[in-house]
């Protein structure tokens, strides 16, 4: 696989009330085309800031970040993004929300692409519905379809299932994995959910509390990812060890 993203010694600071606060510290990460990367860590450790830098929505303070060997200077149609809130335009039908970024195409080609992605996320029959008429899970399906409709090389997902109930969340994880296996789009997903990170990620980036540093990048080898399986529990315990002290680690062993 070709390298699609190269991050080297990246730092990010914010100025708050005249004080410099470091959010990201010495981030080094290479991502290959077609990978599914999950990033897990405490709230406030800079996970979402890192996604925004990759998307070109935020500038880094020092270091370098290259997409296909070129510096990221701003937003690009080659990078799609899905947020925790679906951010669909309430006055547009679902088909028009999904096709929102395809305005430069002729009508027939646009309709074909929109229908392809409606089918991909299993929203056939809801093309003419409005966002208010869909459930949370269906709205996130539409947001994922919109993110993929422009055929981005990278799709960034910032806790896209965080607002969903537990059962819908598991269903959406299964759907996202199916979509990735079909499309092979490079996906980078931020999550607080360790189970989600293990289930979806082919590599898991574990970050420390602020300033966010990469503590470990865990490669998830082919194995049984069924929740509760020995393989799944092995990765879960390995991630927990970065966040909890020794007495808590012992209790985790009993839980899993």
Is pLDDT larger for residue 105 or for residue 170? Answer: 170
User: How do 70-71 and 214-219 pair as beta strands?
Assistant: unpaired
Q: In whole angstroms, what is the distance from residue 131 CA to residue 170 CA?
A: 21
Residue 241 CA neighbour count, 13 Å, CB half: 10
Share of the chain above pLDDT 70, in %: 95
pLDDT of residue 164: 87
Is pLDDT larger for residue 251 or for residue 211? Answer: 211
DSSP letter for 36, please: E
Mean per-residue pLDDT, 33-49: 92
pLDDT band at 248 (very low <50, low <70, confident <90, very high): very low
Q: In whole angstroms, what is the distance from residue 7 CA to residue 5 CA?
A: 7
Mean per-residue pLDDT, 27-45: 94
Q: In what order do the strands lie in the sheet with 203-207?
A: 79-82, 154-158, 186-191, 36-40, 203-207, 214-219
Concatenate the DSSP letters of all residues of 93-111 into one string.
Answer: -HHHHHTGGGTTS-HHHHH
Mean per-residue pLDDT, 178-187: 94
Query: What is the C-alpha end-to-end distance of the chain, expressed in Å?
Result: 34
Residue 18 bridge partners (DSSP): none
pLDDT band at 247 (very low <50, low <70, confident <90, very high): very low
Q: In whole angstroms, what is the distance from residue 204 CA to residue 193 CA?
A: 12
Q: Which range has the top average pLDDT, 35-39, 159-163, 234-238?
A: 35-39
Question: 119-128: per-residue pLDDT in tens?
Answer: 999 999 999 9
Mean pLDDT of the chain: 89
Helix (H, G, I), strand (E, B) or coil at 175: helix
Helix (H, G, I), strand (E, B) or coil at 34: coil
Mean per-residue pLDDT, 210-237: 87
User: Assign residue 190 a region: left if phi > 0, alpha if psi is -120 to 50, beta otherwise?
Assistant: beta
Mean per-residue pLDDT, 80-104: 89
Concatenate the DSSP letters of all residues of 54-119 into one string.
Answer: HHTSS--SEEEEEETTEE--S--TTEEEE-SS----TTS-HHHHHTGGGTTS-HHHHHHHHHHHHH
Mean per-residue pLDDT, 233-255: 66
pLDDT band at 59 (very low <50, low <70, confident <90, very high): very high
pLDDT of residue 209: 84
User: How do 3-16 and 62-67 pair as beta strands?
Assistant: antiparallel
pLDDT of residue 255: 33
Give CA separation, 250 vs 14, 55, 125, 241, 256, in Å. Answer: 37, 39, 50, 10, 11
- Determine contact, residues 160/1, Cβ cutoff 8 Å: no
DSSP letter for 243, please: T
pLDDT of residue 40: 95
Using the structure block, give the residue that is written with the tokens 């096709």. Answer: 99
Structure tokens that stand for 154 in this block = 């990278």
Count of helices and strands (H, E) across the chain: 8, 10
Can you list the domains of the chain with their CATH numbers? 3-78+152-255 (3.40.50.300)
pLDDT band at 245 (very low <50, low <70, confident <90, very high): low
pLDDT band at 251 (very low <50, low <70, confident <90, very high): very low
């Amino acid at each position: 696989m070709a390298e699609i993203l190269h991050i080297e010694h990246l730092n990010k600071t914010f100025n708050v009330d005249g004080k410099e606060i470091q959010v990201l510290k010495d981030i080094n990460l290479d991502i290959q085309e077609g990978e599914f990367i999950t990033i897990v860590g405490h709230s406030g450790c800079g996970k979402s800031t890192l996604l925004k830098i990759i998307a070109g929505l935020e500038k880094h303070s020092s270091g370098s970040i290259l997409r296909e060997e070129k510096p990221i200077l701003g937003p690009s149609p080659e990078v799609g993004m899905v947020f925790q809130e679906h951010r669909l335009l309430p006055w547009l039908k679902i088909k028009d929300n999904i096709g929102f970024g395809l305005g430069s195409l002729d009508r027939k080609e646009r309709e074909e692409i929109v229908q392809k992605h409606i089918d991909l996320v299993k929203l056939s029959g809801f093309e003419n519905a409005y966002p208010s008429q869909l459930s949370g899970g269906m709205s996130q399906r539409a947001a994922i379809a919109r993110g993929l409709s422009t055929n981005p090389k990278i799709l960034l997902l910032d806790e896209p299932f965080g607002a969903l109930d537990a059962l819908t969340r598991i269903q959406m994880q299964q759907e996202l994995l199916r979509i990735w296996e079909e499309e092979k789009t490079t996906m980078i997903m931020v999550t607080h959910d360790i189970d989600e990170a293990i289930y979806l990620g082919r590599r898991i980036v574990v970050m420390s509390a602020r300033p966010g540093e990469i503590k470990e990048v865990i490669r998830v080898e082919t194995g049984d990812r069924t929740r509760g399986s020995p393989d799944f529990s092995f990765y879960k315990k390995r991630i927990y060890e970065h966040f909890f002290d020794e007495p808590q680690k012992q209790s985790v062993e009993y839980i899993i």
